[in-house]
């Protein structure tokens, strides 16, 4: 039975939680500045000065409400919102001299991304292996990351420069690169597909800060109060921030235990995964052109079958044969689907990126009980909510040049600054990659024939060649699915790290003393 929201949900400490986590910093341009602490005393002084300008969730929400008002009254002035957030790797916490760090529960965070890279499928040799990353490479001693956001380069670069001046020689800057929304295709990642469409709704009350707004995510689906908007489940906030109720694996709606990180000051903090992912766009396009010609299907449809959505954002689950731009404009319809009506993956291949990364109500584990298909689906769907992430990425690099387009080979670096938030790196970010995306036999309901997620999936074997089942169209009829081999990775890791994002009071009372 759906949880009655009037019974109450966690009160979110909006002034404590950094702003990118639950809502997202407003941004069209973002600087990622990675650093190593070289003078602990001076660095702590810097943190004390930085704390008051950290952009909190309260601040970004206030701005969201302003933006909504501006949309209703477009003649008003548009504000140039800037944002600053900071986070630390495990070795950064050690460098700060914080006690009891062994009590931090998440072993993957303690190990760090380069040590976990092979386990999530990255190559162990060559340019995409952690020894060769641009940032966060093995043994680099990366301590933290400052993110500065805003509407454009000049505004963000000015703010970033003043923050670095404030830091002085307390730190050594290891990396400073910008991400930016695409000039001619805003809101779309570099392969051309609309991004930022599906996010979990987040439970929690905010009335103490904004009396006119009871919940962080209101219920917009009148027929199902366990959903935020149609097709988008409401998830308890402990999945994304420490100190709040998490999910119950056996029940979509019931609050689970309060999620703790292992040390009291982790409350209102969370983990951030940052991955600098290079995208080989001309190679991806060439592959689509060649394979679609061979199979005799439309190139756009083949691409949509690999992603699970058309470039417009319209999902194959609703529009299996051709794009539906009208649907794409209906924000509330873009997620209004489940996979139960598509049990043989005729509409959307099991391995399509969005079906692998969020299987919704697909049967994701086989129980021994002799229960009905519907019961298996609802058990799986409840369990799947314990593996959700909040994605806050932004593209980097310029669009494909004419020369690259003609040659079919990448010569200019571009891709996605992937950022996700979760309270368990092991059970959320890594779980999705290991158990779903990179496992060709997932979901079990595909009878072992799904193959790899063709966008993101990785084959850690020597050749890295991956299998993708579902290139040819079997909707509404057709007997065989087509297994094709994907010759190489279209997405390559080139850097990143696992970070802890402290609350504003932990920054002042714990990290800077």
Shortest reach from residue 266's CB to ligand HEM, in Å: 23
Q: Which of residues 125-164 bind ligand HEM (CB under 6 A)?
A: none
What are the structure tokens assigned to 149, written together? 């956001």
Q: Which span sits near ligand HEM by CB under 6 A: 11-19, 202-210, 287-295, 352-360?
A: 352-360
Q: Does 421 bind ligand HEM (CB under 6 A)?
A: no
Which of 21, 228, 277, 507 contacts ligand HEM by CB under 6 A?
277
Alpha carbons 473 and 297: distance in angstroms, whole number: 8
Cis peptide before 125 (omega within 30 of 0): no
**What is the x/- site pattern for ligand HEM, positions 78-117, by CB under 6 A?**
----------------------------------------
Q: Does 433 bind ligand HEM (CB under 6 A)?
A: yes
Q: Is residue 299 within 8 Å of 311, Cβ to Cβ?
A: no
Which of 197, 252, 291, 394 contacts ligand HEM by CB under 6 A?
197
Q: Does 307 bind ligand HEM (CB under 6 A)?
A: yes
Name the residue nearer to ligand HEM (CB basis): 13 or 351. Answer: 351
With tokens 């800037």, the residue in question is 82
Name the residue nearer to ligand HEM (CB basis): 56 or 428. Answer: 428
- Nearest CA among 418, 487, 496, 429 for reference residue 132: 496
Q: Does 432 bind ligand HEM (CB under 6 A)?
A: yes
Angle at 135 between CA 464 and CA 428, to 5 degrees: 65
Q: Which span sits near ligand HEM by CB under 6 A: 56-64, 74-82, 83-91, 413-421?
A: 413-421
Q: Is residue 258 within 8 Å of 243, Cβ to Cβ?
A: yes
Q: Does 456 bind ligand HEM (CB under 6 A)?
A: yes
Q: Does 309 bind ligand HEM (CB under 6 A)?
A: yes
Which of 455, 473, 501, 507 contacts ligand HEM by CB under 6 A?
455
Q: Are strands 390-391 and 415-422 parallel, antiparallel or unpaired?
A: antiparallel
Q: Total residues contacting ligand HEM (rule CB under 6 A)? A: 28
Q: Which of residues 12-71 bind ligand HEM (CB under 6 A)?
A: none
Which of 55, 56, 89, 198 contacts ligand HEM by CB under 6 A?
198
Name the residue nearer to ligand HEM (CB basis): 96 or 197. Answer: 197
Name the residue nearer to ligand HEM (CB basis): 159 or 455. Answer: 455
DSSP type of residue 212: T
Shortest reach from residue 217's CB to ligand HEM, in Å: 15
Name the residue nearer to ligand HEM (CB basis): 31 or 309. Answer: 309
Q: Does 376 bind ligand HEM (CB under 6 A)?
A: no
Which of 37, 314, 357, 390 contacts ligand HEM by CB under 6 A?
357
Respond yes or no: is residue 361 known to be catalytic. no
Q: Does 229 bind ligand HEM (CB under 6 A)?
A: no
**Which of helix, strand or coil describes residue 435?**
helix
Name the residue nearer to ligand HEM (CB basis): 82 or 422. Answer: 422
b/e map of 474-507 (b: 16 or more CB within 10 Å)?
beeeeeebbbbebeebbbbbbbbbbbbbbbbbbb
Q: State the SS3 of 454-477.
A: CCCCCCCCCCCCEEEECCCCCCCC
Angle at 65 between CA 59 and CA 66, to 5 degrees: 90
What are the structure tokens assigned to 240, written together? 């994304």
Longest dimension (CA), the chain: 68
Q: Does 230 bind ligand HEM (CB under 6 A)?
A: no
Alpha carbons 204 and 213: distance in angstroms, whole number: 11
Q: Does 396 bind ligand HEM (CB under 6 A)?
A: no
What are the structure tokens assigned to 169, written together? 């020689």
Name the residue nearer to ligand HEM (CB basis): 50 or 456. Answer: 456
Shortest reach from residue 197's CB to ligand HEM, in Å: 4
Shortest reach from residue 358's CB to ligand HEM, in Å: 3
Shortest reach from residue 277's CB to ligand HEM, in Å: 4
Q: Write down how long the chain is.
A: 513
**Distance in angstroms between the alpha carbons of the first and the last residue of the chain:** 48
Q: What is the secondary structure of 115-152 as a DSSP string?
A: HHTGGGT--SSSTTSGGG-SBS-TT----EEEEEEESS
Catalytic residue among 10, 106, 122, 195: 195
Name the residue nearer to ligand HEM (CB basis): 160 or 394. Answer: 394
Helix boundaries (H) for 51-197:
57-72, 90-95, 107-111, 113-116, 153-167
Name the residue nearer to ligand HEM (CB basis): 45 or 378. Answer: 378
Instruction: Quote helix, strand, coil % in the chain, to nearest 5.
Output: 35, 20, 50
Q: Are strands 171-180 and 83-88 parallel, antiparallel or unpaired?
A: unpaired
With tokens 């190489």, the residue in question is 488
In the complex, which residues of this chain contact ligand HEM (CB under 6 A)?
189, 191, 193-198, 275, 277, 279, 307, 309, 353-354, 357-358, 389, 391, 415-416, 418, 429, 432-433, 455-456, 491
Catalytic residues, by residue number, are 195
């Amino acid at each position: 039975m759906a949880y009655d929201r009037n019974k109450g949900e966690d009160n979110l400490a909006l002034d404590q939680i950094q702003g990118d986590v639950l809502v997202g910093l407003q941004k069209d341009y973002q600087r990622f500045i990675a650093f190593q602490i070289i003078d602990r005393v001076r660095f702590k002084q810097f943190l004390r000065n930085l704390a008051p300008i950290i952009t909190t969730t309260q601040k970004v929400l206030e701005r969201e409400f302003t933006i909504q008002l501006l949309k209703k009254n477009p003649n008003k002035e548009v504000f140039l919102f800037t944002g600053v957030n900071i986070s630390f790797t495990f070795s950064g916490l050690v460098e700060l001299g914080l006690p009891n760090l062994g009590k931090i529960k998440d072993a993957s965070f303690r190990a760090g991304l380069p040590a976990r890279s092979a386990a999530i499928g990255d190559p162990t040799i060559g340019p995409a292996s952690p020894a060769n990353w641009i940032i966060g490479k093995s043994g680099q001693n990366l301590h933290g990351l400052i993110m500065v956001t805003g509407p454009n380069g000049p505004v963000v670069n000015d703010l970033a420069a003043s923050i670095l001046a404030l830091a002085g020689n307390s730190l050594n800057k290891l990396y400073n690169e910008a991400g930016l929304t695409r000039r001619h295709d805003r809101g779309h990642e570099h392969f051309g597909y609309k991004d930022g469409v599906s996010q979990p709704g987040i439970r929690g009350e905010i009335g103490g800060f904004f009396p006119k707004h009871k919940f962080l995510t209101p219920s917009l689906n009148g027929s199902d109060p366990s959903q935020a908007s149609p097709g988008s489940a409401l998830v308890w906030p402990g999945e994304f921030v420490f100190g709040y109720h998490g999910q119950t694996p056996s029940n979509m709606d019931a609050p689970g235990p309060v999620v703790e990180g292992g040390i009291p000051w982790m409350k209102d903090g969370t983990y951030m995964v940052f991955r600098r992912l290079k995208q080989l766009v001309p190679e991806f396009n060439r592959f689509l052109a060649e394979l679609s010609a061979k199979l005799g299907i439309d190139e756009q449809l083949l691409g949509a079958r690999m992603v699970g959505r058309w470039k417009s954002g319209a999902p194959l689950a609703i529009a299996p044969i051709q794009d539906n731009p009208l649907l794409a404009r209906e924000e509330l319809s873009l997620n209004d689907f489940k996979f139960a009506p598509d049990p043989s993956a005729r509409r959307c291949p099991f391995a399509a990126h969005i079906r692998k990364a969020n299987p919704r109500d697909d049967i994701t584990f086989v129980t021994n009980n002799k229960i009905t298909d519907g019961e298996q689906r609802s058990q799986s769907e409840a369990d799947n909510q314990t593996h959700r992430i909040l994605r806050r990425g932004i593209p980097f690099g310029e669009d494909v040049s004419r020369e690259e387009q003609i040659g079919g080979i990448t010569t200019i670096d571009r891709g996605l600054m992937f950022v996700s938030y979760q309270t368990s790196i092991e059970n959320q970010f890594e779980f999705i990659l290991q158990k779903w995306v990179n496992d060709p036999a997932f979901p079990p309901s595909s009878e072992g024939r799904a193959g790899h997620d063709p966008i993101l999936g990785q084959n850690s074997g020597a050749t890295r060649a991956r299998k993708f089942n579902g290139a040819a169209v079997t909707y509404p009829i057709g007997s065989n699915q087509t297994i094709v081999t994907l010759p190489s990775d279209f997405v390559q890791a080139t850097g990143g790290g696992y970070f802890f994002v402290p609350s504003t009071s932990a920054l002042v009372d714990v990290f800077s003393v």
